[in-house]
Structure 1
Amino acid sequence: MSAPLPTPPLLIEEQDDRVLLRLNRPEVRNAIDQSTVDALHEACALLEREPRVTLIIGSGGTFAAGADIAQLRERRLTDALAGINSGIFARIHRLPMPVIALLDGYALGGGAELAYACDFRIGTASVKIGNPEPGLGILAAAGGAWRLRELVGEPLAKEILLAGRVLSGREARDAHLLNELVEPEELEAAGHRLADRIAAQAPLAVRLTKSAFHAPREAHPLIDNVAQAVLFETQEKQDRMTAFLERRKEKR
């Protein structure tokens, strides 16, 4: 009798204009282990080949309670320098199309850093977001130590990173870390509503806008002008502007 197949750490649900990635280790509150990192790299390869809006959600009422502590305890200098988690979160941040994190329950440590790497975050009132790494003798080295300051400002970021403050969903929304606060049963639907709004835009315009947004300051305005030059030559620009002018003419 053959052994049962192992449960995949990440479930991928594809649609024409979006992909939903579901963290799938509910028995350990979706702790991010090496198998999860490997699966996320595979998902990123798919999304780099076929750019689509991406939603990331946890299973079992939790986003991700952090990195897998049992594995983390065994990591040494060479593991840290390899950037196991920072590498995958940076790759998610660089995906061509926007990424939406859907947060419920715990989003701590590596789970919080995964959320910080996304373009949007929607959460519930029960979510707990923070970086308790110094309490474990390490630091938030997968983006938290610098991305969080960009998102919420230095004073609050230092309180979270240095003093162990954990934000509730309402506190995260008030700090603009969450774009929207919804009921748990509405979380996935809220993510799809935002994905609908993004998908209604011209896909290439969204991709180039995201690239320009994250470009170094010194790259502007050159990158904006080059991106606009590309878009000016697309048929979609012609079609969308023609449709806009025709609708305006009809309203007169």
Structure 2
Amino acid sequence: MADALRVESADDRMIVTLTRPEKKNAIDQRMIDDLHAVCDDLEATPRTLIISGSGGVFAAGADIAQLRARRADDARRGINTQAFRRVRALPMPVIAAIDGWALGGGAELAYAADIRIGTPSLRIGNPETGLGIIAAAGATWRLPEIVGHARATEMLLTGRILEAEEALAWGLVASLHEPEDLLAAAHAIADRIAANDALATRHTKTALRASADEHPHVELELQAELFESPEKERRMTAFLARKSTR
């Protein structure tokens, strides 16, 4: 059986492509298992993750044939939820490069990313209520954080699918690029991340994920660690040296 993901690794990033083109990259159990393996790797060796889809589609949803067969115990196991929580919690940033459809579970995987970019053909949303279920793998709490409660409520209760320009205007994606330029744009973001201090980047992501009750204590503790970092000393010394020669 072919892998559900194509994985390419470099020193500072991993590129993961969803590869079920015959099913429009619908997320099935095999893909979830492969995502867990990716998370195992990135938790052990933190790098930026770029996620994209093959065949002009990000992911057209969860695999409906498998969903139809699932029962209450399967729902309580949170099959997709647990994988997407691990993606969201990865130490380094996650970039979703979205071309075409990102629906249902595909949209929820995109919501788990830290940065989302797309193409003009992007279509994203959660039509789950039309299938007799809810968006239970992150949309009900992540989408309001991204686009605001009112807009998320409209999307989730109506099953509205946003087109690319709407998604950009709502802040659901940060930028739009032609399909042939999408991965290059994702790599350009990863390049900017790689130019920064990895520990400072990880700590920034930790602070961004913290709850309101944890602020400002969490930032102060993370900053305290960075203030003792040799990399902070090196980078600031280099900055001051460059400034003195201008």
Q: TM bucket by the smaller chain?
A: over 0.9
Bigger shift: residues 94-103 or 229-238: 229-238
> TM-score with structure 2 length normalisation?
0.99
Q: Are 1:236 and 2:231 matched, yes or no?
A: yes
SS in 2 for 1:181: coil
- What's the offset of the Cα at 1:155? 2.2
Q: How well do the aligned residues superpose, as a CA RMSD in angstroms?
A: 0.7
Structure 1 residue 225 corresponds to structure 2 residue 220: yes
Deviations 1:82-137 (A, max 9, x none): 00011111110000000000001110000000000100000011011010000000
- CA-CA distance at 1:56 after TM superposition: 0.1
SS of alignment partner, residue 64 of structure 1 = coil
Alignment of 1:26-41 (within 5 A): 26-41=21-36
2:54 corresponds, among 56, 59, 64, to: 59
Residue 118 of structure 2 corresponds to residue 138 of structure 1: no
* Correspondence list, 1:148-227, <5 A: 148-227=143-222
Cα deviation, 1:179-213, whole Å, max 9, x if unaligned, reads 11010110000000001111111000000111011
Residue 127 in 1 paired to residue 122 in 2?
yes
CA distance in 1, matches of 2:224, 2:141: 33
Higher mean alpha-carbon deviation, 142-151 vs 187-196, is at 142-151
Q: Residue 45 of structure 1 aligns with which residue? A: 40
Secondary structure in 1 matching 2:172 = coil
Alpha-carbon distance between aligned partners in 2 of 1:53 and 1:193, rounded to the nearest angstrom: 12
Q: Counterpart of 1:14?
A: 9
Range moving further from structure 2, 205-214 or 221-230: 221-230
* Partner SS state of residue 167, structure 1: strand
For residues 125 and 210 of structure 2, what CA distance do their matches in structure 1 show?
27
State the partner residue of 2:110: 115
1:216 Cα deviation (Å)? 1.4
Per the alignment, residue 3 of structure 1 pairs with: none
The percentage of counterpart residues that share the same residue type is 57
Which letter does structure 2 place at the counterpart of 1:114? Answer: L
In 1, Cα distance between equivalents of 2:77 and 2:101: 26
- Superposed CA deviations along residues 23-65 of structure 1, whole A, max 9, x for unmatched, are 1101100000000000000000100000001000001110000
CA distance in 2, matches of 1:146, 1:237: 35
TM-score (norm 1): 0.96
The AA in structure 2 aligned to 1:35 is R
CA distance in 2, matches of 1:167, 1:219: 33
Q: Distance in 1 between matches of 2:127 and 2:215?
A: 37
Corresponding position: 1:24 with 2:19 = yes
Tell me the distance in 2 between the aligned counterparts of 1:80 and 1:235.
47
User: Which secondary structure does the structure 2 equivalent of 1:71 belong to?
Assistant: helix
Provide the rounded CA distance (Å) in 2 between the counterparts of 1:158 and 1:221: 29
Alpha-carbon distance in structure 1 between the residues aligned to 2:39 and 2:19: 17
| Deviation per residue, 1:133-175 (Å, 9 max, x gap) | 0000000000111211111112221221111211011110010
Runs of 4+ in 1 over 3 A off after TM superposition: none
Find the aligned partners of 1:164 and 1:38 in 2 and give their Cα distance.
Answer: 28
Match of 1:86? Answer: 81
